[in-house]
A = this chain, B = another copy of it.
Amino acid sequence: MAIQHAHPGQPVDVQPLGPRLALERTVALFKSEDLEVMRLVLLAGKSLPPHQVAGEITVQCIEGSIEVSAESRPHVLRAGQLLYLRGGVKHSVTALEDSSALVTVALRK
């Protein structure tokens, strides 16, 4: 299915996916001048390998729980918690249970 990115001012649902989670994939909600926002879907035990982006990011756990490792320090993020990481910091993400998270990336020019 083609992904329809949100336009400015258009409300997008970011509630927990609940029973649909296992059927969903990570999607970009929008990418604009300064910000990119995606909804990460990661099933229990799955990981995003270490990677980095130039700008700062926030990670907000919507449901489940994830471990965000940055600079070799693991941070457990539970539903309803948010953290930020400085730009250029290598980080990995592992789902401790079936999880979704909102990831906001500051796009550096």
Contacts and interface: CB of A to CB of B under 8 A. Distances in A.
Interface residues of A, number: 43
How many copies, total? 2
A9 interface: yes
Given A9-B75, A68-B9, A70-B9, A34 B83 contact: no
Interface string A76-93: 111111111111010000
Interface string A89-109: 100000000000010101110
Contacts of A82: 11-12, 14, 29, 37, 102
Interface string A1-39: 000001011111111000000000000011011110100
Interface of A: 6, 8-15, 29-30, 32-35, 37, 55-56, 58, 60, 68, 70-71, 73, 75-87, 89, 102, 104, 106-108
